[in-house]
Chain A
Amino acid sequence: MRLSRLRGENNEGLLAGLIILLVLMMGVVEPGFLGPATLTNVVRSLLVDLTFALGMLVVIISGGIDVSFTAIAIFSGYGVIVLMNDLGADGTVWPFALAALAGAVLGGLNAAMVAGLRLPTLIVTLGTQGIVRGALIAFVGSQYLSNLPTGLESLARSDLFAVTTGGGTARMTLLALPVAVLCVLVALLLRSTMLGRSIYAIGGDVESARRVGIRVGRVQTFVYLFAGALAGFGGLMHVTLSRQANPYDLVGSELDVIAAVVIGGASIFGGRGSVLGTVLGVTLIAVINNSLVLLGVPSAWQRLAVGLLVLLGVGLQALGQGRRKSPPILAEVRS
């Protein structure tokens, strides 16, 4: 009984154990691995994916799926840089607010189709991905920009803290802070607000949610606007961290994010999932990618490993579903 509590509601315990095991194994194989540099490298490489994953988590809990977020992200991130260059403007905070706003507007396309016309989310977001990406290349720009406005350049080089070791300096980027805040906010939203509970309810069973008086359309509208805003924010963060704006970036990397959320225990059928699980899922994928790279394993194997983990995660969910037939939201109501 105690063991099953340790395992966690959405296999969080299992995931944490897996990550620790992997890190220890890597430490044995490659002694240089267990150091501050690995921590800062992994954090740096997961920040953008984690931001996307938070948006994806909310969408998946609501029973949907979103494959347009990478296009929305690079549109917002690249677009803001182009706008700043054109206006000769500089800044650090407002560009992120603007990118989030742009993302929300683009997410509005999804919201209108999903909430307004009640169309399947996969098809809608596939369409939006094409539209947004095409519009970016056709209207905003197709040039690789190797220099960012100075405010963003200096933000990219700002550290929360830095540890100097023999082999160089391990720097924790300042951008880890806003992402941590976002994690807490999304967790609070999902756990302790009426809106958050409504998102779970819709994902559990749309029809039941509608009958108990939840305004499904409104909640779905919020979900896609919110996911869009997070995508926009993450997009500019990607551009800032990589210190170059390439309109061809990001699109094509959807799988890693969806995988992270599903591995993190969110049910692909909706109604189930947690921020903690998502953080662990993203971390697991980042650690796996980082370790395989360190071991000199070709990138094709990384794809294979991530694919296997997704199947494993979904398989575990299916087994869990077999044990407990009723949607989780109903289980919660009954208890």
Chain B
Amino acid sequence: MRKISTLLVAVASASALAACGSSADLSSDGGNGGGNTAAPADLRFVTVVKLTGVGWFNRMETGVKEFATETGIDATQTGADDAGPEKQVKIIQDLIPQRPTAIAVVPNSPESLEGVLKRARDAGIKVVTHEASDQKNTDADIEAFDNTAYGAHMMDELAKCMGESGKYANFVGHLTAKTHMEWAAGAQARAQEKFKGVTRVADPIESQENTGVAYDRTKELLTRNPDIKGIIGSAATDVAGIGRAVQEAGLQDKVCVMGTSIPSVSEKYFADGSIDKIFFWDPAVAGKAMLKIARLLAEGKQVEEGTNLGLPGYESLKRFPGNATTFHGNAWIDVDKSNAAEYKF
């Protein structure tokens, strides 16, 4: 007798729970009412960035939030507290069981993410990457521009500043950061073909995406190569460390410092020329571009040559030769002290 009553209670409570669940589902549907899998309220996009707390990815988060407000899709951003590949693997591993619709990733090291991204895709999660033009386990990779062309553009500007002759060095966040290495290779190729007098002192130097490391390495460079005339940074915080070392050594008029960064990080070094010029693409727009692609994929559509994402610089995507899933826009911006105030991030 007792057994039966227990059973009854159990069944009753289970069905009550189920009822709660279904009513919650209905309300969260926002009255959209259809079985359409691509309804905004059914979608959940998670952006995983290299590290949190830096200006660059704070700006990207602004874009992610804008996207969420504009579309009604649950889009959030997360990341580790330092730029180590292992932590990023762990974050994505933890996301897979939560089954988001799509994961947008800015990898610290594309190679070390291949395994975990494959598992995400096997689980039916769409994967969109950024700054990883060779990523294999991705549905689409979106780059702001063609990296070689961007590197060449940086070299054009640096060579102009250096008077088209002298030694230069190139910092990258990590030697495994494909994008940074492609910029460096693009710059070096342009120097070799167009500016014979401009030579690189060493292979790309690793800053570990850390201003302090960039600062120490620059001091070393300046001691070992007193005649160095140009330095290029790749991670957004590189030029701040390079600029500080150059300023402390009193070399702001002798050394041209340029590189990828954002105005808020480099602004204070513009005034006396410790940093001469920075280049970037707007991370907020890039963050949105990844999510727009994620949405296209979630709706079962394709990204192809000429796709218009409706974002500045991403109006007509180009496919990279030899890599069907990698696309780029045309979205670089040059900033020096004359126009730094226009970009508030």
Chain A interface (Cβ < 8 Å from any Cβ of B):
30, 32-33, 37-38, 41, 45, 137, 142-144, 146-147, 153, 157, 162, 164, 166-171, 242-244, 246-249, 293-294, 296
Chain A, Cβ-Cβ closest to B202: A296
Cβ-based interface call for B250 (8 A): yes
Q: Given the known A-B contacts A37-B249, A293-B216, A293-B217, are A242 and B53 also in contact in the complex, defined by CB atoms under 8 Å?
A: no
Cβ-based interface call for B212 (8 A): yes
Within 8 A of A (CB), among B185-222: 202, 211-212, 215-217, 219-220, 222
Q: How far is the CB of B282 from chain A (nearest CB, A)?
A: 17
Chain A, Cβ-Cβ closest to B213: A299
Find out whether the CB atom of B82 lies under 8 angstroms from the CB atom of A248: yes
Find out whether the CB atom of B244 lies under 8 angstroms from the CB atom of A243: yes
The docked-state distance in angstroms from the alpha carbon of A296 to that of B217 is 9
List residues of chain B with CB within 8 A of the CB of A41. Answer: 219, 223
Find out whether the CB atom of A168 lies under 8 angstroms from the CB atom of B249: yes
Chain A, Cβ-Cβ closest to B266: A146
Q: Given the known A-B contacts A32-B223, A37-B223, are A247 and B212 also in contact in the complex, defined by CB atoms under 8 Å?
A: no
The docked-state distance in angstroms from the alpha carbon of A151 to that of B209 is 27
Chain A, Cβ-Cβ closest to B243: A243
List residues of chain B with CB within 8 A of the CB of A166. Answer: 226
Find out whether the CB atom of A171 lies under 8 angstroms from the CB atom of B248: yes
Find out whether the CB atom of A32 lies under 8 angstroms from the CB atom of B224: yes
List residues of chain B with CB within 8 A of the CB of A170. Answer: 249
Cβ-based interface call for B54 (8 A): yes
Find out whether the CB atom of A153 lies under 8 angstroms from the CB atom of B268: yes
Chain B, Cβ-Cβ closest to A142: B53
Q: How far is the CB of B253 from chain A (nearest CB, A)?
A: 10
Of residues A143, A157, A244, which shows the largest number of chain B Cβ atoms within 10 Å of its Cβ?
A244
Q: A146-B264, A293-B217 are in contact. List 16 more A-B contacts (CB 8 A).
A: A30-B223, A32-B223, A38-B223, A144-B55, A146-B268, A153-B268, A162-B250, A167-B226, A168-B226, A168-B254, A171-B250, A242-B244, A243-B240, A247-B53, A248-B81, A248-B82
Find out whether the CB atom of B251 lies under 8 angstroms from the CB atom of A168: yes
List residues of chain B with CB within 8 A of the CB of A142. Answer: 52-53, 81
Other-chain contact of A242, B54, B81, B212, B224 (Cβ < 8 Å): B212
Chain B, Cβ-Cβ closest to A41: B219
Q: Given the known A-B contacts A142-B52, A143-B53, A168-B251, are A294 and B211 also in contact in the complex, defined by CB atoms under 8 Å?
A: no
Cβ-based interface call for B38 (8 A): no
Chain B interface (Cβ < 8 Å from any Cβ of A):
52-55, 58, 81-82, 202, 211-212, 215-217, 219-220, 222-224, 226, 237, 240, 244, 247-251, 254, 264-265, 267-268
List residues of chain A with CB within 8 A of the CB of B53. Answer: 142-144, 246-248
The docked-state distance in angstroms from the alpha carbon of A296 to that of B220 is 9
13 contacts between A and B (CB under 8 A): A137-B81, A144-B237, A167-B222, A168-B226, A168-B251, A168-B254, A242-B212, A243-B268, A244-B211, A246-B53, A293-B216, A294-B224, A296-B202
Find out whether the CB atom of B222 lies under 8 angstroms from the CB atom of A168: yes
List residues of chain A with CB within 8 A of the CB of B223. Answer: 30, 32-33, 37-38, 41, 167, 294
Find out whether the CB atom of A249 lies under 8 angstroms from the CB atom of B220: no
Top 9 A-B residue pairs of the complex, sorted by shortest distance between their CB atoms: A169-B250, A167-B226, A168-B249, A142-B53, A146-B265, A144-B54, A168-B251, A293-B220, A168-B250
Of residues B53, B222, B226, B240, which shows the largest number of chain A Cβ atoms within 10 Å of its Cβ?
B53
Q: How far is the CB of B260 from chain A (nearest CB, A)?
A: 15
Find out whether the CB atom of A169 lies under 8 angstroms from the CB atom of B217: no
Q: Given the known A-B contacts A137-B81, A244-B211, A293-B216, are A30 and B58 also in contact in the complex, defined by CB atoms under 8 Å?
A: no
List residues of chain A with CB within 8 A of the CB of B248. Answer: 171
Q: How far is the CB of A173 from chain B (nearest CB, A)?
A: 9
Find out whether the CB atom of B249 lies under 8 angstroms from the CB atom of A242: no
List residues of chain B with CB within 8 A of the CB of A248. Answer: 53, 81-82
Find out whether the CB atom of A164 lies under 8 angstroms from the CB atom of B250: yes
Chain B, Cβ-Cβ closest to A250: B212
List residues of chain B with CB within 8 A of the CB of A244. Answer: 211, 240
List residues of chain B with CB within 8 A of the CB of A147. Answer: 264, 267-268
Chain B, Cβ-Cβ closest to A45: B216
Q: How far is the CB of A332 from chain B (nearest CB, A)?
A: 42
Q: How far is the CB of B259 from chain A (nearest CB, A)?
A: 15
List residues of chain A with CB within 8 A of the CB of B264. Answer: 146-147
List residues of chain A with CB within 8 A of the CB of B268. Answer: 146-147, 153, 243
The docked-state distance in angstroms from the alpha carbon of A243 to that of B250 is 16
Chain A, Cβ-Cβ closest to B226: A167
Q: How far is the CB of A294 from chain B (nearest CB, A)?
A: 6
Q: How far is the CB of A152 from chain B (nearest CB, A)?
A: 12
Chain A, Cβ-Cβ closest to B245: A41
The docked-state distance in angstroms from the alpha carbon of A153 to that of B271 is 14
The docked-state distance in angstroms from the alpha carbon of A167 to that of B227 is 8
The docked-state distance in angstroms from the alpha carbon of A248 to that of B58 is 15
Find out whether the CB atom of A242 lies under 8 angstroms from the CB atom of B215: yes
The docked-state distance in angstroms from the alpha carbon of A33 to that of B55 is 36
List residues of chain B with CB within 8 A of the CB of A146. Answer: 55, 240, 264-265, 267-268
Find out whether the CB atom of B219 lies under 8 angstroms from the CB atom of A242: no
Chain B, Cβ-Cβ closest to A162: B250
The docked-state distance in angstroms from the alpha carbon of A146 to that of B217 is 20
List residues of chain A with CB within 8 A of the CB of B224. Answer: 30, 32, 294
List residues of chain B with CB within 8 A of the CB of A137. Answer: 81
Chain B, Cβ-Cβ closest to A38: B223
Chain B, Cβ-Cβ closest to A146: B265
List residues of chain B with CB within 8 A of the CB of A243. Answer: 240, 244, 268
Chain B, Cβ-Cβ closest to A165: B226
Q: How far is the CB of B271 from chain A (nearest CB, A)?
A: 12
Q: How far is the CB of B53 from chain A (nearest CB, A)?
A: 5
Q: How far is the CB of A131 from chain B (nearest CB, A)?
A: 16
List residues of chain B with CB within 8 A of the CB of A293. Answer: 216-217, 220
Find out whether the CB atom of A249 lies under 8 angstroms from the CB atom of B212: yes
Chain B, Cβ-Cβ closest to A137: B81
Of residues A146, A169, A248, which shows the largest number of chain B Cβ atoms within 10 Å of its Cβ?
A146
